[in-house]
Amino acid sequence: MADWQEISGGVTAPRGYQAAGITAGLKPSGLPDLALILSEGDAIAAGVFTTNQVRAACVDYCRQRLQAKAITRAILCNAGQANAGTGTQGWADALECAQLLGEQLNIAPESVLLASTGVIGQRIKMEILRAALPQLVAAVSDTGSDAAAKAIITTDLVPKTIALETTLHDRPVRIGGIAKGSGMIHPNMATMLAFVTCDAAVSPHLWQQMLSRAADRSFNQITVDGDTSTNDSLIALANGMSRTPAITDPGPDADKLEAMLTEVCIYLAQAIARDGEGATCLIEVEVSGAEDEKSACQVARTIAGSSLVKSAIFGRDPNWGRIAGAAGRSGVIFDQEDLQIKLGDFVMMDRGQPVAFDRTAANAYLKQAAAGEYLKSDTVAISVSIGSGPGRGKAWGCDLSYDYVKINAEYTT
């Protein structure tokens, strides 16, 4: 049983955080497009960012800030323009964003972290942003998480938010998160933004280690289309306002907090995969019997990212051969005589041999998942065993539909 409970409030559920989201006019659609997350006091910050060699100005900015000092007060996120591939002027825009927000909040610009999402190659519309910052700052509140979650999305169909609570030393500790992402989703990192807040006190080095491991088990285990982007950022703040003893070393308290942090990240990662562009269902791949967790995760990622597997699931075709083929090309060595494949409750291969199954019923299972209610019964479960080792891992993806091509063919037009 989980040692935490779900609560409302998103990134403002932990103590000492406020948030806001407004319509500044950055998006041509006229939808909300500017968000702010603010900590009442100094917060320890950790981050995981894109591995793409083409990076947005905000990514390089945040990396520099976190390397210099892991103390943060605010996260500013704009939607509409990615400010990636924008050269020296895009970098100057990022610095100005931090400077302007610092002045509005009366904090040091170095205490501001930045994120952007939108069309690559487009600078932030600075004239609009400058005019909107006073309104944004005025809008921050203890209940502003939902507004912020709506303001960071682009092609997403739904905002993504979660908050959990546990106890440490008989005091409540909370972690909240919001995320965006729908297309160009693939590990290392997926095209996504995620912001996590926590009110525990954690040392900077330990908090970064926790977040990196949580990312490996969540955001680096999702795939929609095999592409990663220029702006991917996962930023987590911990401000210590729960007034629990500081966690400075590995141990039971650190393990408990990291488990809850990982759960928040997994929930948000699943929500991104579930909301993949044009998707009709979530695919969850669980691999067991591997030599270690890393190998199991690699096999799971390969299956979840296979265009043939994803297309078959969209077509409601229980074609287990595509799953076997993807597992076999994952780069992980195993004996095919040990291979077992299940689709839901249907065993399709066991000990490397095909198993007769009710194809009509399996087809119905896939149709039921596609018709399932969001976040409840819309998951296609694929279970694969490749041996008798202790390694287990999960990955998440979505089916590949006609609408995915339509959405991306018309993205900038």
Catalytic residues: 191
Task: Give the strand order in the sheet containing 340-343.
Answer: 353-354, 346-350, 340-343, 379-385, 282-289, 389-398
247: nearest Cα among 213, 289, 199, 312 = 199
CA separation for the pair 343, 324 (Å, rounded): 12
20: nearest Cα among 101, 103, 119 = 101
CA separation for the pair 51, 116 (Å, rounded): 16
- Hunting for tokens 């905002």 — which residue is that? 159
- Hunting for tokens 């040392």 — which residue is that? 203
CA distances from 160 to 181, 236, 332 (A): 9, 16, 33
142: nearest Cα among 16, 290, 257, 48 = 16
Which residues does 373 contact at the CB level (< 8 Å), separation at least 6? none
CA separation for the pair 236, 208 (Å, rounded): 9
Q: Are 145 and 178 in contact (CB under 8 A)?
A: yes
In 8-111, beta strands by DSSP E: 17-22, 34-49, 71-81
Residue 75: CB atoms within 10 Å: 28
Which residues does 218 contact at the CB level (< 8 Å), separation at least 6? 262, 265, 266, 268, 269
Q: What are phi and psi of 27, to 5 degrees?
A: -90, 135
Residue 107: CB atoms within 10 Å: 17
* DSSP letter string, 320-376: HHHHHHHHHTSS----GGG-EEEETTEEEEETTEE----HHHHHHHHHHHHTSPTTT
Token pair listed for 304: 């979840």
